[in-house]
Amino acid sequence: MVGWRTRVTSVLFAVVVTSFHARAIFMTDGGDNLILLMAVYLVFTACGRRWSLDARRDRLRTARAGSAPEPARSFRSQRLQDARVVLATVVHNCGVFVIAAQVCFLYGSAGLYKVQGDSWGGGTALHYVLNLELFQPWPALSHLADDYAILIAIAGYMTVLLQVAFPFVLFGRLKYPVLTLLLSMHLGIAVLMGLPLFSGAMIVADAVFLPDRFYTALLQLCRRVARRMGVRRPEPGRGTGERLVPPQVRPDASGPQHRATPTAPKDTVPVSQLRSDRS
């Protein structure tokens, strides 16, 4: 989850998930099958490229190297490096494609099975679901939702429509409202039916269909919110390294006060030197 040595950790994660799968059958909720499949597919993806400890380590290594020239490589080693990059990219793309296909099959088959049922066609399926004692973590909340029969019927029809239409809206802008509605549906399942692990697995699987620009915009939004709240990172070159003491305002003997010139005076010393002198 934190992205530490993801190449090795993803393999170990898949082995552990596979080892514990179906060991306690009464604790499973349907999300365990999806987690098992996703754990295997995760091995082939470059999941540590961005928000991870691996990415942070690469950034620090690049910053330390600075403008130092790269060591010269032979023609053979350069070709092997290029082939490695291409192979990793192809395997990653294939892994992401298999994940997307798995989610499409899941939603499509679930929607088609629901269409064949009389309760989903009659709009009463969610009524029976909300009255199952096995899936009532908060019975009062389930009974309160069940009182609105028309809204329950509309939610049932929307569930079938979203699941059947999901594979056909992935290549247009219509996928954003569909993903938003699916997110709301899974949150409702987590709260009303007490299936948070299943809902969490489905939400993570749905996040694969969001483009890179969405996560970039999300990161920029978080930074703007942090700046407005007063949580700011030190700018590059500030807070560390050599920094001059700011010029002081001194009165002039012949007239009014004048500010010091923008250039630092000769007797200005770095802060680091002041600290060393004090110590």
Say which residue the tokens 């939702």 belong to: 145
Is the pLDDT score of 119 beyond 80?
Answer: yes
Q: What is the pLDDT of residue 186?
A: 94
The pLDDT, as a whole number, for residue 233 is 55
Q: Which residues contact 47 (CB under 8 A, 6 or more apart)?
A: 3, 6, 10
Confidence of residue 16 (pLDDT cuts 50, 70, 90): very high
- What is the chain's alpha carbon radius of gyration, rounded to the nearest angstrom? 29
Q: Which residues pair with 258 in a beta bridge?
A: 250
Rounded mean pLDDT of the chain? 81
| Segment 210-233, tens digit of pLDDT | 888 888 888 899 889 988 888 655
CA–CA distance, 276 with 205 (Å, rounded to integer): 54
Give the pLDDT score at 218: 86
**Segments in the chain forming alpha helices (H):** 6-20, 31-42, 53-65, 75-116, 118-122, 125-130, 139-146, 149-165, 175-192, 196-206, 212-228, 271-278
End-to-end Cα spacing for the chain:
43
Residue holding tokens 């399942």?
189
- Residues 70-98: tens digit of each pLDDT: 677 777 888 888 898 899 899 999 999 99
Helix (H, G, I), strand (E, B) or coil at 250: strand
Overall pTM > 0.85:
no
Closest CA to 35 of 53, 56, 14: 14
pLDDT above 50 for 238: no
111 with 160: CB under 8 angstroms? yes
